[in-house]
Amino acid sequence: MKTKKQPADTKIDLTPREIVAELDKYIVGQSQAKRIVAIALRNRLRRRRLKEQMREEVTPKNIILIGPTGVGKTEVARRLAALVRAPFIKVEASKYTEVGYVGRDVESMIRDLTQQSHNMVREERFAAVRDKAEETAIERLIELLVPPLSKRKGAPGPVLPAPEEPEARLQHHQNAREKVRAQLQAGELEDELVEYETKENPLPMVEVFAGSNMEEIGMNLQDMLQNVMPGGGQSRRRRIKVSEARRQIIQEELNRMVDMGEIKSEAVKRVEEMGIVFVDELDKVAGREQNRGPDVSREGVQRDLLPIVEGTTVNTRHGEVRTHHILFIAAGAFHVAKPSDLIPELQGRFPLRAELTSLKVEDFERILVEPRQALTKQYQALMETEGVNLEFTPEAVREMAEVAFRANQLAEDIGARRLHTVLERILEEVSFTASEMPGNAVIVTPEYVRERIGDLLKDEDLSRYIL
């Protein structure tokens, strides 16, 4: 079967096993959730190889991740999106309201996702031509600092004694330009002042605070005003630093070299084909009200979310977006409510379920040292900038893991986030004095940990506030 060429930004050859292996580099445990999201991602990549007629019929299998806070639900979804550079956005279901109430409507999550995709594609396009834009910026800055001979009179720039002979003057002028070019490339003239023509944008910021579709109205009004005055305001010459002029020129050149219409088209396409929406706190809107009062209906939010998940068309400032093939990953603790408390239609749109387990001492221990961005590695890198060699013994890592686990038992269980508080408490003195002891080594031992944490754990009331 002849297949359509895949975009270069997607790692189409990642198998589910390889996807899990990539997630293992950042997230400890939770193998069931990793397997489920890996299969969902691989199926999306498989779908893109199908014939067009079949491809349209294959819809994503949306997922509900069930588990307490701090066990890795968000991180699993975020890392999954990063693997294939898919547009990704995290939203909280409890922040949305039923149509007719004051607040954000659920369609705004698609508009936000599309804007995220637009920013991603634009940065990719800019990165491809940035070197050329920087070269052009240097040439334009040379024109400002050392204008052509016919424009030298009264122009800014160095006033150099020039020979009388035309050929010698021309050579002298060329030498001056080459010298300035070398200085610009070395960053030696960043604080010099040049006259540069800048544009001022007179358009007021349009903010709309209420109404069911007022975000869309405000968006369209802003675009309409920009179309009325496409020039972007009046131009005026003013003296600015070379560094600021360089930044503005590079941005102008990037905008000139890149087709913004093509960026919008690609952004919408990428959202429709690879977009991922992570809906957190879904359990907060689960449940079916028996009494209708002035409060916002949780069931109403679910019913508004249903067409987005089923597949509809949302109008955004970058064009119409079809949500039929966007992958939705929902999450929640579901301590009180259960997935079965969702309206049946929405339950059917999230066929895959994965339960993430609470973290044990061994999990905390692995989280401290194994992932690429492990907290101990972060603190070691931070202290290394001050010339301090920070080391953790294996016994100290175990002690810190036990402290975090006990703190979660004494107070609210916030999962791995407790480790941030514990390490900050343990390394507070080192962080404060690191700049005063370059070249020294600090070894964190179990005794070191107990010295700074031990008394807090003995006092249960105090530990609730401190840890």
Tens of pLDDT, residue by residue over 377-396, are 999 999 999 999 999 999 99
Q: Is residue 10 part of a domain?
A: no
Residue 455, domain CATH: 1.10.8.60
Q: Is residue 1 part of a domain?
A: no
Where is the domain boundary, 241, 264, 287?
264
Q: Are residues 129 and 105 in the same domain?
A: no
Q: Are residues 327 and 224 in the same domain?
A: no
Q: Are residues 317 and 393 in the same domain?
A: no
Count up the domains in the chain and report the number: 3
**pLDDT score, position 462:** 52
Q: Are residues 259 and 144 in the same domain?
A: yes
**pLDDT score, position 289:** 55
**pLDDT score, position 382:** 93
Please report which confidence band the pLDDT of residue 161 belongs to, taking 50, 70 and 90 as the band edges.
low
Q: Are residues 334 and 414 in the same domain?
A: no
Whether residue 320 is predicted with pLDDT greater than 80 in this model: the reply is yes
AA letter at 33: A
Q: Are residues 299 and 330 in the same domain?
A: yes
Write phi, then psi, for 390 (nearest 5 degrees): -100, 130
pLDDT tens, position by position, 97-125:
876 666 688 899 999 999 999 999 999 99
Q: Are residues 324 and 335 in the same domain?
A: yes
Q: Is residue 442 part of a domain?
A: yes
**pLDDT score, position 102:** 64
Q: Among 197-201, 338-342, 345-349, which stretch is predicted with the lowest mean pLDDT?
A: 197-201
Q: Are residues 248 and 173 in the same domain?
A: yes
Q: Domain limits at 127?
A: 123-264
Q: Please state the rounded mean pLDDT for residues 304-322.
A: 92
Q: What is the pTM assigned to this prediction?
A: 0.78
Task: Tell me whether residue 34 is exposed, middle or buried, using C-beta atoms within 10 angstroms of its C-beta: 0 to 12, 13 to 18, 19 or more.
Answer: buried
Q: Are residues 96 and 133 in the same domain?
A: no
**pLDDT score, position 329:** 94
Task: Tell me whether residue 165 is exposed, middle or buried, using C-beta atoms within 10 angstroms of its C-beta: 0 to 12, 13 to 18, 19 or more.
Answer: exposed
pLDDT tens, position by position, 17-44:
999 999 999 998 889 999 999 999 898 8
Residue 42, domain CATH: 3.40.50.300
State the chain's mean pLDDT as an integer. 82
Q: Are residues 349 and 408 in the same domain?
A: no
Please report which confidence band the pLDDT of residue 147 belongs to, taking 50, 70 and 90 as the band edges.
confident
Number of Cβ within a 10 Å radius of residue 418:
22
